Amino acid sequence: MIKGTFPIEKFKQVETPFYYYDLDVLRNTLSTINREAGKYENFVVHYAIKANANPKVLKVIREAGLGADCVSGGEVRASVEAGFPNKKIVFAGVGKTDKEINYSLDHDIFCFNVESIPELEVINELAAAKGKIAHVAFRINPNVGAHTHANITTGLAENKFGITMDDMIPVIEQAQQMKNIKFVGLHFHIGSQILEMDDFVALCNRVNELQDRLLKHHIVCEHINVGGGLGIDYHHPNHFPIPNFADFFATYHKHLHLLPGQTLHFELGRAVVAQCGSLISRVTYVKQGTGKQFAILDAGMTDLIRPALYQAYHRIENLTSNEAEETYDVVGPICESSDVFLKSVDLNKVHRGDLFALRSAGAYGEIMASRYNCRELPKGITSEELA
Ligand code: LLP
């Protein structure tokens, strides 16, 4: 089995489970993003903090010059603390509280991505109380489906996100009347782990159509934000560690018609951080079951919930054995039947104490960990700390 490159001798001295972040992979990914997006004037890339807010990871992303996309006051704070410039922070989410809005107003963030009229009214009031003008973009639900897991598609009419297309113009006109609001743009996000460029083409077509409608009402946006969603190759992290950013940005360049002076913003999460991270775990026991054998890890669904929640696949490698492969169900120690990472997987013969890597876990891994069963949260360790 082909395996990733890991400092295994160093790993042996570290308490498991932990997340390992390979900063070379992260930096290569970021320089590819900057190179490919940099080909097009007016493309601006934000990093979706929700994918991974580990301060050591955020520092590298901030150094590469990306902005921050946030969905809670906590994420706005994490971005501020990681040193992202206020003018590069956007704040989205269907349920922003007064406290979160006030914190963001105090930091003069670039833009609120607003999802309803009641929210717009509250932002206007709170901005007025501070004598500020809040910049807002409206999240529009484009009713565009995406070929991905049902739990992570967001752009359909039935989803809770955004303002419907029919309401778009009245809402913008209402915002334009408000004293403490400046309308600056439109925001979209159709889902996550999208690998078919045609899904993004469908979004571009819809955006073009909506922009035409706006122009008829003499409404011009300073920016369009198309969210994130670019998927990664969970099956081949060693062969394809860097997602296809060239195609992704070229698709938007080709299909989305920007008006003169308009900027196009992206909010990429998974594609930035997934492949730099692995969950490293030790085998606690090898147990014989009925017609199968289990490799029981010290990591469980509390450390990486994606397999249990979305039936997501994460490639598993046994880093400390090269013996002939056998077939295992790889499971965690949590008292839940869904605490299974992968069934019937061929791995180099497993022994108690072996170190496993669960690959492509840099996005929606550490950040979604919980303390269920009174477990400790996994730590995040970078390649530089182990060098
Ligand atoms: N912008 C908005 C408004 C979003 O809701 C999201 C993700 C992103 C950007 C970033 O999307 P990305 O580039 O990472 O696809 N926990 C799930 C994924 C949930 C994504 C939620 N929204 C998972 O583990 O697959």
The tokens describing 149, both together, are 């897991």
Tell me whether residue 222 is exposed, middle or buried, using C-beta atoms within 10 angstroms of its C-beta: 0 to 12, 13 to 18, 19 or more: middle
Asked whether residue 155 carries a pLDDT value surpassing 90, the answer given is no
Write down the pTM of the prediction: 0.96
Supply the residue whose CA is at minimum distance from atom 7 of ligand 1.
192
Residue range 277-335, pLDDT digits in tens:
999 999 999 999 999 999 999 999 999 999 999 999 999 999 999 999 999 999 999 99
Q: Is the pLDDT of residue 354 over 70?
A: yes
pLDDT of residue 38: 98
Domains of the chain, by residue range, sit at 8-18+275-382, 23-274
- Give the domain 23-274 fold: TIM Barrel (3.20.20)
Q: Is the pLDDT of residue 152 over 60?
A: no
Residue 319 is predicted with a pLDDT of 98
Ligand 1 atom, smallest distance to 363 CA: 24
Does the pLDDT of residue 1 top 90, yes or no?
A: no
270 lines ligand 1 (CB under 6 A): yes
Residues of the chain by 3-state class (helix, strand, coil), percent to 5: 35, 25, 40
Q: What is the mean pLDDT of the chain?
A: 95
Per-residue pLDDT, 229:
97
Query: What is the DSSP pairing of strand 277-288 with strand 263-268?
Result: unpaired
pLDDT at 161: 77
Q: How much of the chain, in percent, has pLDDT values that exceed 70?
A: 96
Q: Is 93 in the pocket of ligand 1 (CB under 6 A)?
A: no
Q: Quick one: average pLDDT of 226-238?
A: 98
* pLDDT at residue 51, rounded to an integer: 98
Contact (CB, 8 A) for 225 and 90: yes
Q: Specify whether the CB–CB gap between 282 and 16 falls below 8 A.
A: yes
Using one digit for the tens of pLDDT, what is the confidence trace for 79-102? Answer: 999 999 999 999 999 899 999 999
331-351 pLDDT, tens digit per residue, is 999 999 999 999 999 999 999
Look up residue 25 and give its two tokens: 């992979």
CA distance 119 to 123: 6
For ligand 1, say whether the CB of 365 is within 6 Å of any of its atoms. no
Q: What percent of the chain has pLDDT over 90?
A: 92
At 2-50, the pLDDT tens digits run 999 999 999 999 999 999 999 999 999 999 999 999 999 999 999 999 9
Confidence band for 159, pLDDT divided at 50, 70 and 90: low
Q: How confident is the model at residue 158 (pLDDT cuts 50, 70, 90)?
A: low
**How do residues 168-200 score in pLDDT, each as one tens digit?**
999 999 999 999 999 999 999 999 999 999 999
pLDDT at residue number 22 = 98
What's the CA-to-centroid distance between 354 and ligand 1, angstroms? 33
Cβ distance 66 to 85 under 8 Å?
Answer: no
Q: Confirm or reject: Cβ of 75 under 6 Å from ligand 1.
A: no
Q: What is the mean pLDDT of residues 51-66?
A: 98
Give the tokens for residue 296: 């029981």
Distance CA 212, CA 203 (A): 14
Taking only the tens place, the pLDDT of each residue in 366-383 is 999 999 999 999 999 999
In the structure, what pLDDT confidence band is assigned to residue 110 with cuts at 50, 70 and 90? very high
- Looking at residue 150, its pLDDT comes to 58
Per residue in 213-227, pLDDT (tens digit) is: 999 999 999 999 999
Q: What length does the chain have?
A: 387
Ligand 1 pocket, mutate which of 49, 79, 267 (most atoms under 8 A from CB): 267
Tell me the one-letter amino acid at 135.
Answer: H
- Could you tell me the sign of the dihedral formed by the alpha carbons of 176, 181, 183, 188, in that order? negative
**Comparing 8-18+275-382 with 23-274, is the CATH topology the same?**
no
Class of 8-18+275-382 in CATH? mainly beta
| Among 310, 384, 378, 374, residue whose Cα is nearest residue 340 | 310
Question: Is the model's pLDDT at 151 over the cut of 90?
Answer: no
- Crossing angle of helices 245-255 and 23-37, rounded to 10°: 20
- 332 within ligand 1 shell (Cβ under 6 A): no
Mutate to test the pocket of ligand 1, among 44, 156, 192 (most ligand atoms within 8 A of CB): 192
Phi-psi region of 360 (alpha: psi -120 to 50; beta: other; left: phi over 0): left
Of 6-20, 141-155, 348-362, least confident by mean pLDDT is 141-155
Asked whether 227 and 152 are in contact (CB, 8 A), the reply is no
Burial of 217 (0-12, 13-18, 19+ CB in 10 A): exposed
pLDDT at 376: 98
For residue range 126-135, list pLDDT tens digits in order: 999 999 999 9
Query: What is the DSSP track for 335-353?
Result: SSTT-EEEEEEEEE---TT
Residues pairing with 153 in the sheet: 191
Query: Per-residue pLDDT averaged across 203-219, rounded?
Result: 96
